Structure 1
Amino acid sequence: MTIRYAVPADVPALSAVEAECFPPAEAATAAEFAERVAHYGNHFWLMYDGDKLISFVDGFVTDDADLTDEMYENAAMHSENGAWQMIFCVNTLPAYRRHGYAGELLQKAIADAKAQDRKGLVLTCKDRLVHYDAKCGFVDEGVTDKSTHGNVAWHQMRLTF
């Protein structure tokens, strides 16, 4: 397995994996991924098995302490010197799940954020994944009113250094 950051050529693979992992109302489009990679490709952690993208984590950096719906749609909000690393998605192809790949990518994102002197990381997840993110050190702050992305109730999770 190879872990690396994103480049524009990864966009088709990113959108294909996303489409397998999230319902259409929640999944980012190829155009959104192209915009994200253009603004913060160095905040995508991609895991490849040979030439196949099997898992990825991404999100931009901001001084805003809470994850909001606008962040998903506006990659230009990225601020490279921001205090908080946001995590917008944690995706692993179904056939590759339960092997620790997503956790490995989250640990790489955490290590990078720490090395970059961030305050920590913030993500949102569905109720069924709160325990998973807690194993990586994230603390549940409860269901957020700042994100209803895809008309879903999301728990905001925070890892503070």
Structure 2
Amino acid sequence: MMYGGFKRVSVGSRPMDNGGRRRGDECCPNCVPRRHALDAILKEIADLEAESCVTAERADRIHRHTISNMSIFDDKLEEASMELAASQQITRCGNCDHITEEMSRAIDRRASLCVRQSRDRARIARIESHSNDSCQLANERLKDVRKLAVAASVVCLKK
């Protein structure tokens, strides 16, 4: 039975119906589409949460795999370092430490020169860009001044 746009459902034990309402509750014509929209949103949320869980599990698996690989790598690196240390003790002379220190200083100097060169290149590019912009602006101003001069001379000739 309809009462002014609302329908009244019989009241009984009032179990839940499919729309999440208790039977017997009043609902307007907008309730059904809203309920469908809400259900769609809730389903999308559930799907996103499930996808998030799958992603988190995958990330955890990848992390565990990476950690296991890193421990294997660390073991191999430690073994190689021990072999290198053993070989250096055998084939090392008194000049090796001096050469190693010089190599270290040379590598540091090269790195700082590369950084300085990169910074200088960026500075030059910035200066060239500003220079080009300034030249363009100066040319535009010159054109504007010439236009004003021509316009002023035309006005003077008319008088």
By relative contact order (CA 8 Å, sep 6+), the higher-ranking structure is: 1
Alignment TM-score > 0.5, same fold: no
Structure with more strand by fraction? 1
Structure with more helix by fraction? 2
TM-score (normalizing by structure 2): 0.17
